[in-house]
Amino acid sequence: MSLAGKHIAILGVGRSGRAAAALALREGARVSAWDAADAAAFDGMPVGVEIHPNAAEAEGYELVADLVVVSPGIDTFGSYVAAFSRHAGEVIGEVEFASRFYQGQIVGITGTNGKTTTTELIERILSHAALGGTACGNYGMPFAEVVLQANPPATVALELSSFQLETIRTLRPVVAVWLNFAPDHMDRYPSIDAYRAAKLRIFKNQTSADVAVVRCGEDLPQLAARVVTFSTTDPAADWYSEGHVIHHGGEACLDLDHDTSLRGLHNAENAMAAFGACQALGVSLLMMREALSGYAPPPHRCELIRTLDGVEYLNDSKATNLHALESALRSQTRPVILIAGGKEKGLDYGPLTPLLKEKAKAVVTFGQIARPLADLFSQVVDCEAVMDLSAAVATARSLAPRGSTVLLSPGTSSFDQFTGYEQRGNTFRDLVHQLR
């Protein structure tokens, strides 16, 4: 794709916009950058880019460009993009733009939950196998930054959000990973079907020479790629785990409890998806097992803090909404003492009660919504309300028998008592390490 002499307009000047602008400049284009923000937002934009702060739709209608590159944070189907697209030869996103100048192999990862952990696992395995595997896209660095490197990696682990997938045209993952699907981003999409259609675009350009790694039971159309399955419910899947050991072809491949800090059925799924993707690229089971030895998930995402008196303590502080709490709770294979609560966001926790009845031995609530949560949850499970996280940890320990899990998965934001989920999770970690 030659950009010499062409006008490339970058819409949105965050990190991905700056990377796309730098790549367009490298390829000989005339580059302009547009954003509704003021001039300060353009700091770090490469020299040589024409900047247009405070850009309104009226200016977009006048713009003539060969290509408009849209940042993922901007609604592709909104009036702002429509204005800037009026006289554009083509409208794509930064990920699609970068892919046109990348010569290596793409492992694309999408799903409603688990994308980042799976992307990290794939990066770790491919790096160990000397195949590159740099994490980029929705997680890690922008894809365009990877392409700009003097020696780009042979393979990338490209996390793809629905927003990024909306604008792909030619991007083709040699391996596409579909983790799961659940309603999300309904503030951006007119329907669940529209959100699902955006996600399904990850398979758009795959051929029979490619591989699709998919979770058993997902409602997917007929795929052109060879399908590899993983499951925590169907032993007949290509990759199977009951939540503790990963099996493939009748062979035990990885003991999650012994060899890693990954816990829960959802993390077993993430690990199996990573194994399936990397095996498709020729990585041996031995090398994959070596790569994940000692692996711990990212902080605040079902992070195993310690095991004390036979009780595991998991930090899932990043669960700031009901869907994340439900996912964490559903994934547990041991009796759970749930710690939940925080800021009042007006959420309806009622639909969670059947799962609590199934999974939780007890619940400890804290923070601004401690009392109303306790009143609701006590209908199906023993529940205690306390003031703060320190009291919650102490109470949870007193309620947790050997063989159980104390799970901090608040289900709401932290801004009643903390500056963010990170501070909340770090406080939980400190409190658990202080237990004797």
Name the active-site residue from 7, 52, 113, 138. 138
DSSP-derived letter for residue 214 is E
Which pLDDT score is estimated for 184? 56
Could you give the CA distance from residue 239 to residue 219 in angstroms, rounded to a whole number?
18
Which pLDDT score is estimated for 181? 82
DSSP-derived letter for residue 65 is B
- Specify the 3-state DSSP secondary structure of 282: coil
Which pLDDT score is estimated for 216? 96
CB within 8 A of 392, min separation 6: which ones?
A: 339, 341, 364, 365, 366, 386
User: What residues does CATH 3.40.1190.10 cover in the chain?
Assistant: 102-292
User: What residues does CATH 3.40.50.720 cover in the chain?
Assistant: 7-89
Cα distances from 4 to residues 24, 93, 147, in angstroms, run: 9, 19, 18
Name the active-site residue from 128, 185, 204, 323. 185
CATH class of the domain at 102-292 = alpha beta
Which pLDDT score is estimated for 434? 97
Which pLDDT score is estimated for 278? 98
**Residues 91 and 66: beta-carbon distance below 8 Å:** no
Which pLDDT score is estimated for 301? 85
Could you give the CA distance from residue 377 to residue 286 in angstroms, rounded to a whole number?
45
Cα distances from 387 to residues 108, 265, 370, in angstroms, run: 44, 31, 7
**Residues 16 and 40: beta-carbon distance below 8 Å:** no
Distance of CA 42 to the CA centre of its chain: 27
Could you give the CA distance from residue 306 to residue 369 in angstroms, rounded to a whole number?
27
138 is catalytic: yes
**Residues 110 and 161: beta-carbon distance below 8 Å:** yes
Could you give the CA distance from residue 413 to residue 93 in angstroms, rounded to a whole number?
30
Report the DSSP pairing between strands 30-34 and 7-11.
parallel
Give the pLDDT of the chain (436 residues) as one tens digit per residue. Answer: 799 999 999 999 999 999 999 999 999 999 999 999 999 999 999 999 999 999 999 999 999 999 999 998 898 889 999 999 999 999 999 999 999 999 999 999 999 778 888 999 999 999 999 999 999 999 899 999 999 999 999 999 999 999 899 999 999 999 999 998 865 555 667 788 888 899 999 999 999 999 999 999 999 999 999 999 999 999 999 999 999 999 999 899 999 999 998 888 889 999 999 999 999 999 999 999 999 998 988 788 889 999 999 999 999 999 888 878 988 898 888 999 999 999 988 888 999 999 999 999 999 999 999 999 999 999 999 999 999 999 999 999 999 999 999 999 999 989 999 999 999 999 999 999 999 9
Alpha helix stretches (DSSP H) within 94-161 = 94-99, 115-128, 143-147
Residue 317 burial (10 A CB sphere; 0-12, 13-18, 19+): buried
Which pLDDT score is estimated for 266? 87
DSSP-derived letter for residue 46 is P
What CATH topology corresponds to 303-433? Protein-Tyrosine Phosphatase; Chain A (3.90.190)
Could you give the CA distance from residue 221 to residue 241 in angstroms, rounded to a whole number?
25
For 271, the enclosing helix (H) or strand (E) is helix 265-280
Q: CATH classification of 7-89, choosing from 1.10.10.10, 3.40.50.720, 3.40.50.10860, 3.40.50.1000?
A: 3.40.50.720
361 is catalytic: no
User: What residues does CATH 3.90.190.20 cover in the chain?
Assistant: 303-433
Could you give the CA distance from residue 247 to residue 229 in angstroms, rounded to a whole number?
12
Name the active-site residue from 7, 52, 115, 300. 115
Could you give the CA distance from residue 228 to residue 212 in angstroms, rounded to a whole number?
6
Count H helices, E strands: the chain? 16, 20
